[in-house]
Amino acid sequence: MAEVVNFTRLASKAGACGIYCSTFTNEDTTMGNEIWLVMLLIVVTAVCILTPIYLRYLQRMKELDTLVKLAEGGHEVRVDMLSLLQPPRAPRNDMRRGLIFLAAGIPLALAFVIDGTYMTAVLLGGIPILTGLGFLVLAKLDAARAQG
């Protein structure tokens, strides 16, 4: 029965002794870098998604703490006070959203068309373009509904 040789351990022993041997290389080093890149991408995405959620949570806790302090102080908590704690909401602006999606989708699609990968252009560029067109149609319908 043949003995299996662990080349990674053998190479590390050779390096520990001060011997440089180029035949014992670890071909998985590029794969290790790709794994770190994917892990970094996942962590950054999670931070970008979770940070606004956490900040909204902190804001809501401050609002509720203010209400509790008012109630404990013997002040009357009225409905209009609750509305003062909430920030004013911006009106729904489908025109803006549609233009943003179009501004993101058209250059993305054009970049893939220039590169020659038409299927990728349709998939990655077409989705934001169609979403943007949908928002523009909604903006047009809302404007017509407001007039009539």
Instruction: Indicate the domain borders of the chain.
Output: 91-148
Cα 2 from chain centroid?
51
Q: Specify the pLDDT at position 24.
A: 47
Q: Tell me: pLDDT of 58 over 90.
A: yes
Q: Tell me: pLDDT of 143 over 60.
A: yes
Between CA 77 and CA 84 the distance in angstroms is 11
Q: Specify the pLDDT at position 131.
A: 94
Which tops the pLDDT comparison, 95 or 22? 95
Q: Which residue has the tokens 């890149």?
A: 37
Between CA 11 and CA 26 the distance in angstroms is 9
Cα 108 from chain centroid?
17
Q: Specify the pLDDT at position 8.
A: 53
0.75 cut: is pTM over it?
no
**Mean pLDDT estimate for the chain:** 79
Q: Give me the percent of the chain exceeding a pLDDT of 70.
A: 76
Task: For residue 66, name the pLDDT band (cuts at 50, 70, 90).
Answer: confident
Between CA 116 and CA 100 the distance in angstroms is 25
Q: Tell me: pLDDT of 81 over 80.
A: no
Asked whether the beta carbons of 124 and 112 are under 8 A apart, the reply is: yes
DSSP 79-138: HHHHHHHSPPPPPP-HHHHHHHHHHHHHHHHHHHHHHT-HHHIIIIIHHHHHHHHHHHHH
